[in-house]
Amino acid sequence: MPRTTAETRKQPDTRITARLIGRIKSLISTGAVSPGSKFPPERELAKEFGANRASVRQALKVLEIMGVLSQHVGDGTYLSESAETILNEPIDFLVLLDDLSQHELFETRLMMEPELAARAAERATAEDLSTLRNAIFSMERSKTVRERLNADLAFHDAIFRASGNRICHLLFKSIHRTLLMSMSQLSDRVSLDRPLMFHRKIYDAIRGRNPEDARRCMQQHITDARDLLGKSHPSN
């Protein structure tokens, strides 16, 4: 029996987005839309998927951030040439399509990232420090949400690399991509100064070879982001 409008509204946004991304992935995998070609308009997708345009727009936004789609102003949305490769990355879509929660993602980050920051404070090279500093500069100069998110990811990626653990580096690069939707939602509500403050503190601790401070500052940073996201999406 179809869900009523009221029931659909109660469904968490992340589940609706995951469902729509799954449908879009099917269009791509069956060849209905080929890499490099123009994507159907939002209104057509909404009609085909039985969803409202706002939900479709959110799913397209996630895929655009991930690099699956690109927006050409005044022309429409195009499927990236590398879309099939991106969509085959297992961790990203394990999270999106199997409905792993934001709580689980943040819990994983809190268990691992503070320790990686501490390792980075012990092991970071001059090149690592330069990369971290450049990521901070890029965030300071960012003019768009995409530029801000790219700088944010670049900063954390540099920490994972500086930690010296290649497995954690690969795993957490994927985990962070799954948080892009949440990060994009926060960027609309949170001043740029807030993440910059934490990034600068973490950088100072790593540059100062202070593992305890790096661990503590990273924990505060992740906890702050988790709490802000919780406030923007209170549970029903």
CATH of the domain at 47: 1.10.10.10
pLDDT at 14 over 50: yes
| Structural contact between residues 18 and 99, judged by C-beta atoms closer than 8 angstroms | yes
- pLDDT of residue 32 exceeding 90, the answer is no
pTM of whole model > 0.85? no
Do 83 and 21 fall within a single domain?
A: yes
Judge if 136 and 175 occupy the same domain.
yes
Of 106, 112, 38, nearest to 78 by C-alpha is 38
Residue 192 belongs to what domain range? 101-232
**Single residue among 87, 109, 139 that ends a domain in this structure:** 87
| Domain end residue (candidates: 52, 87, 122) | 87
pLDDT at position 4: 43
CA proximity to 56, closest of 40, 71, 36, 67 = 40
Q: Are residues 128 and 62 in the same domain?
A: no
The string of pLDDT tens digits covering residues 45-60 is: 999 999 999 989 888 8
pLDDT attached to residue 37: 87
- Asked if the model's pLDDT at residue 78 lies above 80, the reply is yes
pLDDT (tens digit, 9 = 90+) per residue, 208-224? Answer: 999 999 999 999 999 99
Over residues 124-171, the pLDDT tens digits come to: 999 999 999 999 999 999 998 888 988 998 999 999 999 998 888 877
Q: How many domains does the chain have?
A: 2
